[in-house]
Amino acid sequence: MDLTVVLGIVLAITSLSVGDVLEGGNPLHLIHISSLIIIFPTAMFAAMVGTDGEYVRGAFKNVGMVFKKSPVNLEDRIKEIISLAVMARRDGLLSLEQKVMNIDNEFLKQGLSMAVDGNEVDTISEALELVIEETEEYYHGCAHYWIVAGETSPVMGLVGAVMGLILALQKLDDPAAMAAGIAGAFTATVTGIFSAYVLLGPMGNKMKAKSHHIVKEQKMMLEGIIGIVHGDNPRTLEAKLLNFLSPAEEKHSQFN
């Protein structure tokens, strides 16, 4: 589980609730079922209009990645690539044929399979660069759906508030009921803004950020495959691949 997502949502709700309580309010009054129905489904349906169907399906299919830790572990992947590089340098590329069958990453498996089959480096690079490009475009399209839904939410909140006010003004003969209706109407505005900047919008940005990890891993694997095909020294190849780690990650060589 990605604690930055869970804690971010929980703490945002907590701070909002504390502020409301300090002003003498009750946070439960902000939960208005009709406002939730007007805003969330409508914003997501509206986002479908401007998003390709493939990305809409992908947005819901991959929503779990927002709340989970990134599956990418560059250090482990570098170790795997270098172990394959050592074997290939010692026994030749054909010695990797059995190993390739057990690789869990389809991108790495595809590239090494092409290498074992005797394809030229340029051919391998062209094929895998296309995969990288499509992967990046796919996840960005999926993330864009949630971002658009988030951008639409405040407007749907305004629509919900106006609808509530229309109904409230029909109760001029009952001031108490009209006041309650007006108060309920404005919960739609709060809900719309909250969903835009705490839920839907951030979900899209988080999905885009995590897709960058996937693309970075693919670029790193491509460099590793090219190095294996060229017969690069495993130590030199490892030093090159370690440069893909962020400044926040420590670089440990398995040869030390």
What is the per-residue pLDDT for 36? 87
Q: How many CA atoms lie within 13 A of 32 on its CB side?
A: 24
Segment (H or E) for 123: helix 121-169
The residue to which tokens 């670089």 are assigned: 251
Give domain limits for the chain. Answer: 1-30, 32-244
Measured distance CA(246)–CA(160) in Å, rounded: 44
Task: Look at 164 and 11; give whichever has higher pLDDT.
Answer: 11
The alpha carbon torsion through 27, 28, 31, 33 (nearest 10 deg) reads -170
Q: Which pLDDT tens digit goes with each residue over 6-41?
A: 889 899 889 888 887 887 777 777 777 888 888 999
Name the percent of the chain lying above pLDDT 70: 100
Confidence of residue 130 (pLDDT cuts 50, 70, 90): very high
Tell me which amino acid residue 130 is: L
What is the per-residue pLDDT for 226? 93
Tell me which amino acid residue 115 is: A
Nearest to 62 by CA among 219, 216, 211: 211
Measured distance CA(39)–CA(159) in Å, rounded: 9
122 is written with which tokens? 């340029």
Confidence of residue 100 (pLDDT cuts 50, 70, 90): confident
Q: Which pLDDT tens digit goes with each residue over 173-230?
A: 777 877 877 877 788 888 899 999 999 999 999 999 999 999 999 999 999 999 998 8
Tell me which amino acid residue 16 is: L
First to last CA, the chain: 33
* Range of weakest confidence among 91-100, 113-122, 208-217, 222-231: 91-100
* Residue 12 · residue 105 · CB < 8 Å: no
| C-alpha to C-alpha distances, 218 to 42, 89, 225, nearest whole angstrom | 36, 22, 10
What is the per-residue pLDDT for 149? 94
Measured distance CA(252)–CA(89) in Å, rounded: 22
Residue 2 predicted with pLDDT over 90: no
Confidence of residue 142 (pLDDT cuts 50, 70, 90): very high
Measured distance CA(184)–CA(144) in Å, rounded: 31
Which 3-state string (H, E, C) describes 10-68? HHHHHHHHHHHHHCCCCHHHHCCHHHHHHHHHHHHHHHHHCCCHHHHHHHHHCCHHHHC
Segment (H or E) for 183: helix 175-194
Helix (H, G, I), strand (E, B) or coil at 67: helix
What is the per-residue pLDDT for 132? 96
